[in-house]
Amino acid sequence: MKANDIHEVVRILRQEAPKWKTPAVTIVAEDKRNPFYVLVSCILSLRTKDETTGAAFRRLVKRARTPQELRRISADELARIIYPVGFYNRKAVQLRDIARDLIERFGGRTPDSIEDLLTLKGVGRKTANLVVTLGHRKPGICVDTHVHRICNRWGYVKTSAPDKTEFALRKKLPQEYWIEINDLLVTYGQNLCAPISPKCSQCRIEPYCKKIGVNKHR
């Protein structure tokens, strides 16, 4: 993919995205406009299907809308509320620790910088960028496995890990696309550009894609 092709590719993705299911964390962000909610839903979503994440999040916010309210729930009860998200016992402890840090170190506010968010227990660059972009609507690039795989498959970047892809995109991707690129590529990756045997015959981006690493496609 040539550097300037990205403008047409994003235009196509914007047209196609409404046909696909919106990620659970994005639904939370669009509906609530609350950085704390985005942070909580990100933690719940790790290693968990979207429908499970959404249901667990809705149950949780009925009991806890702030870090202070979340902190008052015991880890055992919190685990029961968010079950069956992946690693629910571990996440219950993690969420309580995050709530404590938000209260004690940030006055109950969810930070708007990646550097501060990375100091919270279990928060990596993917979650930090999602909170910054979807929660605070500030520039950032969230790179998960879909973004990493697809950008390398296109030949837009050549990197070996998601964190390296993030920094490569920060240098190359026009900033106007930073906030939305994760949403666009997650739905694209879930519906067309699968890890194995992507649906290239149905993909309008196929003419721009170098298909790096693709051994079989449909």
Judge if 9 and 51 occupy the same domain: no
Token look-up 């959404």 returns 54
Residue 213 in any domain: the answer is no
d(CA 103, CA 109): 7
- Cα distance between residue 58 and residue 207, in whole Å: 41
Asked whether residue 158 is assigned to any structural domain, the reply reads yes
List, for residues 143-154, the tens digit of each pLDDT value. Answer: 999 999 999 999
pTM for this prediction: 0.88
Number of domains in the chain: 2
What three-state secondary structure class fits 135? helix
- CB neighbourhood size of 167 (10 A): 14
Domain with 11, as residue range(s), is 5-21+141-208
- pLDDT tens, the chain, 218 aa long: 888 999 999 999 999 999 988 888 888 877 767 999 999 999 999 889 989 999 999 999 999 999 999 999 999 999 999 999 999 999 999 999 999 999 999 999 999 999 999 999 999 999 999 999 999 999 999 999 999 999 999 999 999 999 999 999 999 999 999 999 999 999 999 999 999 999 999 999 999 999 999 998 88
Tokens 């196929």 belong to residue: 206
Cα–Cα distance measured from residue 166 to residue 40, given in angstroms and rounded to the nearest whole number: 22
Q: How far apart are CA 170 and CA 168, in angstroms?
A: 5
Give a yes or no: residue 215 inside a domain.
no
- Looking at 115, 135, 155, the residue that finishes a domain is 135
**CATH label of the domain that carries residue 179:** 1.10.1670.10
Is residue 201 assigned to a domain? Answer: yes
